[in-house]
Chains A and B, each alone.
Chain A
Amino acid sequence: MITQKALSRRTLLRGFGTAIALPALDAMAPAMNSSKIPGKTPVRMAFVYVPNGLDMRHWTPTEEGTFTGELPRILRPLEPLRNEFNILSNLTQNGGRALLDGAGDHGRCCGSYLTGVHVKKTMVDIKAGISCDQIAANQVGSATLFPSLQVGLEDARQAGDCDSGYSCAYTNNLSWKSETQPLPPLLDPRAMFERLFGKGPVLSPEARARQAKYRKSVLDHVTADTKKLQGDLGPTDRRKLDEYLSSIREIEKQFEKAEGENARIDPGMPKPYGVPADFAEHFRLMSDMITVAFQADMSRIVTFLVTREGTSRPYREIGIADGHHPLTHHQGKMELLDKVTKINEYHMQQFAAWMMRLKSIKEGDASILDNSMIVYGAGLSDGNRHTHEDLPVMVMGRGGNHFKGGRRITYRKETPISNLYLTMMDRLGVQTDDFGDSTGRIDGLNLG
Chain B
Amino acid sequence: MVGVIFDCDMGSRPETALALAVLYGLDGMNECRVVVVSSTRSNLGSAAYCEVVGRFYAGAVSGAFGSFSRTLPVGLLADGAMKDDTPMLTVPLSRKNAEGKPQYEHGIHKLVDTAVAPALVRNALTAQFDQNAIVVLAGPPTNLLQMLKLRDVPELVKAKVKHLVAADPKGAMALAAAGWPTPIYSISPSLGTQVVFPAEAVDKEFAWSTAHPVVDAYKAAKAMPYDSPTSELAAVLYAVRSADKAFALSEPVNGVRQVMLAPEAKDTLLKTFIELASAKPVPKQRFRRPVAADPAKAKPEPSKPAEPVKP
A-side interface residues toward B, CB under 8 Å?
Answer: 89-90, 92, 94, 97-100, 102-103, 105, 118, 385-388, 410-416, 434, 437-439
Contact = CB atoms under 8 A, between A and B. Distances in A.
B116 A412 contact: yes
Contact of B78 (A94, A386, A412): A412
Contacts of A437: 119, 122-123, 151
A386 B112 CA distance: 22
A175 B253 CA distance: 49
Interface of B: 65-68, 70, 72-73, 75, 78, 111-116, 118-120, 122-123, 126-129, 150-151
B112 A98 contact: no
6 contacts: A89-B112, A97-B65, A100-B128, A386-B67, A412-B112, A415-B119
A135 B68 CA distance: 34
Contacts of B73: 413-414
A385 B67 CA distance: 9
A100 B68 contact: no
A413 B78 CA distance: 12
The prevalent SS among residues of A at the interface is: loop
B115 A412 contact: yes
Contacts of B68: 385-386
Contacts of B115: 412-414
Nearest to A95: B126
A410 B112 CA distance: 7
Contacts of A92: 119, 123
Nearest to B123: A94
B67 A434 contact: no
Contacts of B65: 97
Closest 7 CB pairs of A and B: A413-B115, A414-B115, A97-B66, A414-B119, A94-B123, A413-B73, A410-B112
Contacts of B122: 437, 439
A94 B116 contact: no
Nearest to B119: A414
B116 A118 contact: no
A386 to B, nearest CB: 7
Contacts of A439: 116, 118-119, 122, 150
B120 A98 contact: no
A413 B66 contact: no
Contacts of B75: 414
A97 B123 CA distance: 10
B123 A414 contact: yes
A387 B70 contact: yes
Given A434-B151, A439-B118, A439-B119, A412 B127 contact: no
Given A90-B112, A97-B67, A414-B75, 20 more contacts: A94-B119, A97-B66, A97-B126, A99-B126, A100-B127, A102-B67, A412-B115, A412-B116, A413-B73, A413-B112, A413-B116, A413-B120, A414-B72, A414-B115, A414-B116, A415-B119, A437-B119, A437-B122, A439-B116, A439-B119
